[in-house]
A and B are shown apart, each in its own frame.
Chain A
Amino acid sequence: MVDFLVVENLSKNFGGFAALSAVSFKLERGEILGLVGPNGAGKTTLFNIITGFLRPSGGSIHFQGRDITHLSPHEIARMGIVRTFQLNKIFLHLTVEENIRIGCYLHEKGGPRRFFFGAPSEEKEYLDEKVRKIIHLIGFEGFKKKMAEDLPYGDQKLLSIGISLGAEPTLLLLDEPFAGMNPVETGRCVSLLRRIMEQGTTLFLVDHNMRAVMGFCDRIMVLNFGKKIAEGKPAEIRENPEVITSYLGSIKVA
């Protein structure tokens, strides 16, 4: 069986600054991996490199047996890896429906026939159904015609997840999905992610909400100063002294 996601010795230097140093880990298909660490630990850098938005200084990434280290973001998306952004990205000036419809871009057919005669009606129906299913999944039936910019922040974050579902990701990377959400919204988001996981998508998420991450993820990886300092089940991570130190600073005993 081919490994799902393998990251080996990944490094990233910005000038003299080592944002990531020799980070290695594996992700199993179907599991939920959480990535935590203090601010500046290199979590978003890692996401950016895996999804092609940033070039690594060294190391490699293999997805389902294929080397994706130097692919561009759109190529990686086509292989089934989609990500959300820390600073939430949605198409603000379009409706909820239109947003998700653009998410389904990979299922639109182009070409000269489409140019002259428009999209075939089967494709329109297929996409309409797809959009309808996603809207139902994220629970936005009541306001599918609402402008994205008019949604409350928590809903905008759910919308960005909905958009990414249009691309039918095998692996979904979520950069701080719970950030800025109150407990109710966080609960809704966790339920949504669980439903997505049940539909067969593997999840890899970064967040600072320890409770949500510990309660939701199968395994957790901890980064600090660009290095992986711990990896394991939530219970193990909670007890790990190095992890505690990295968040709280070293405890001096007088």
Chain B
Amino acid sequence: MKSGRGSLLFSLLLTAIFCVLPLIFTSNLIQHLLVIIGITVILVLSLDMILGHAGLISLGHAGFMGLGAYTCVLLVMKYKMPFLVSLLSGAGFAGLLGGLIGYPSLRLRGHYFVIVTFICGIIFTLFFTNLVSITKGPMGIPGIPSPQITIVPGWSISFKSKAAYYYLVLAFIFLTIYVKHQLYHSRMGKALLAIREDEDLGRSLGINTHAYKVGIFMISTAFAGLAGGLYAHYIRFIGPDSFTMLHSFYFFVMNLIGGSGTIAGPVIGALLLTVIDELSQLLQPALARILFGVFLILVILYMPKGIMGLKTLWVSQMKGE
């Protein structure tokens, strides 16, 4: 994480650009892409909280996304609760379940935890498919309304247009980045660094590694749930097939390719691969899967730190190290 005035200026410039994007690109396709990329960015940033910060691999993240999505949608449609309350409840529920699942499974050695998350993802899909009375099963839930947020009684904002939805998502992206950045510089961030680098050494220095692992896992799954709720109210249809193991794997690959342990990495990874995925839906759907695979191999062989790793390498070579 860079510090310094140049970097701050750069970040402000980027922020300004992101804010005006939908005004520049008014085509339906690009605005749709912007929203989808935005939601995916939140997801990959949340995954990076455990992958990049704590060094834990989760292959079940889409399951928590689905948990947040279904919870939010059900609260809005069945119980007529306000959108923001439902959205945050979905996130909270996903976080809570992350805690329940994480508490026992994070006591296991790294490899076993990955397997547990993988199985979790599958179990969530089974729940979404089979709890028909709650989730309407394989048919999914159609007709999800666009969000309406009431600022003051009598004045509410409707997010029907793609551009408006983009700004909603952008606000939550800023929230996610803020939380991730603050976490990194907090005492928890130091503890997670120790956990990532050498957990037993951390324990011998007084760090309650288990508590921190569960904590960051809960925060990560909560943000995944948040992204799920945003997704549901944008696409306006969700089903068990929206949150599969394949999606979990995609997010993981995006994180790796962009570069874990940074903020720019997940953004770049999400951006690049979402564009490839969405565009290839139009041309040749199988193309996306092939390209993902190729990218993954390239990353493993040549750039284990992802694109951000390449950038760091390039910078240090520029400096003549």
Cβ of B37 to closest chain A Cβ, rounded Å: 28
Q: Tell whether, in the assembled complex, residue B197 and residue A92 are in contact, meaning their CB atoms are under 8 Å apart.
A: yes
Q: Tell whether, in the assembled complex, residue A102 and residue B187 are in contact, meaning their CB atoms are under 8 Å apart.
A: no
Chain A 65-76, CB-CB to B under 8 Å as 1, else 0, gives: 000000011100
Q: Tell whether, in the assembled complex, residue A74 and residue B207 are in contact, meaning their CB atoms are under 8 Å apart.
A: yes
In the complex the two chains form, what is the Cα distance from A93 to B157 in whole Å? 48
Q: Tell whether, in the assembled complex, residue A85 and residue B203 are in contact, meaning their CB atoms are under 8 Å apart.
A: no
Q: Tell whether, in the assembled complex, residue B200 and residue A108 are in contact, meaning their CB atoms are under 8 Å apart.
A: no
Q: Given A91-B194, A91-B198, answer yes or no on A108-B187 (Cβ-Cβ < 8 Å).
A: yes
Contact with B182, one of A74, A101, A116 (Cβ below 8 angstroms): A116
Contact with A163, one of B182, B186, B201 (Cβ below 8 angstroms): B201
Residues of B within 8 A of A4 (CB): none
Check A106 for interface membership: any CB of B closer than 8 A.
yes
Check A82 for interface membership: any CB of B closer than 8 A.
yes
In the complex the two chains form, what is the Cα distance from A116 to B203 in whole Å? 26
Q: Tell whether, in the assembled complex, residue B194 and residue A105 are in contact, meaning their CB atoms are under 8 Å apart.
A: yes
Residues of A within 8 A of B284 (CB): none
Minimum CB distance partner of B182 in chain A: A115
Q: Given A114-B186, A118-B185, answer yes or no on A167-B206 (Cβ-Cβ < 8 Å).
A: yes
Minimum CB distance partner of A51 in chain B: B204
Q: Tell whether, in the assembled complex, residue A106 and residue B205 are in contact, meaning their CB atoms are under 8 Å apart.
A: yes
Check B312 for interface membership: any CB of A closer than 8 A.
no
Q: Tell whether, in the assembled complex, residue A110 and residue B198 are in contact, meaning their CB atoms are under 8 Å apart.
A: no
Minimum CB distance partner of A116 in chain B: B182
Check B209 for interface membership: any CB of A closer than 8 A.
yes
> Which residues of A in the span 94-116 have a Cβ within 8 Å of any Cβ on B?
94, 101-103, 105-106, 108-111, 114-116
Check B208 for interface membership: any CB of A closer than 8 A.
yes
Residues of A within 8 A of B205 (CB): 74, 77, 82, 102-103, 105-106, 163-164, 166-167
Residues of A within 8 A of B186 (CB): 110, 114-115
Chain A 48-92, CB-CB to B under 8 Å as 1, else 0, gives: 000101000000000000000000111001100011110001111
Minimum CB distance partner of A118 in chain B: B185
Minimum CB distance partner of B197 in chain A: A91
Q: Given A91-B198, A94-B197, A102-B193, answer yes or no on A114-B187 (Cβ-Cβ < 8 Å).
A: yes
Minimum CB distance partner of B209 in chain A: A74
In the complex the two chains form, what is the Cα distance from A79 to B188 in whole Å? 20
Chain B 182-226, CB-CB to A under 8 Å as 1, else 0, gives: 110111101101100110111111111100000000000000000
Q: Given A102-B193, A105-B194, A114-B187, answer yes or no on A74-B200 (Cβ-Cβ < 8 Å).
A: no
Contact with B197, one of A82, A93, A103 (Cβ below 8 angstroms): A93
In the complex the two chains form, what is the Cα distance from A116 to B187 in whole Å? 12
Residues of A within 8 A of B207 (CB): 74, 105
Residues of B within 8 A of A109 (CB): 187
Q: Given A53-B200, A85-B200, A93-B197, answer yes or no on A78-B187 (Cβ-Cβ < 8 Å).
A: no
Interface residues, chain B, CB within 8 Å of chain A?
A: 182-183, 185-188, 190-191, 193-194, 197-198, 200-209
Interface residues, chain A, CB within 8 Å of chain B?
A: 51, 53, 72-74, 77-78, 82-85, 89-94, 101-103, 105-106, 108-111, 114-116, 118-119, 163-164, 166-167
Q: Can you give 22 contacting A-B residue pairs, CB < 8 Å?
A: A53-B204, A73-B204, A74-B205, A74-B207, A74-B209, A83-B204, A85-B201, A85-B204, A89-B198, A89-B204, A91-B194, A91-B201, A92-B198, A103-B205, A105-B190, A106-B205, A108-B190, A110-B186, A114-B186, A115-B186, A118-B185, A164-B205
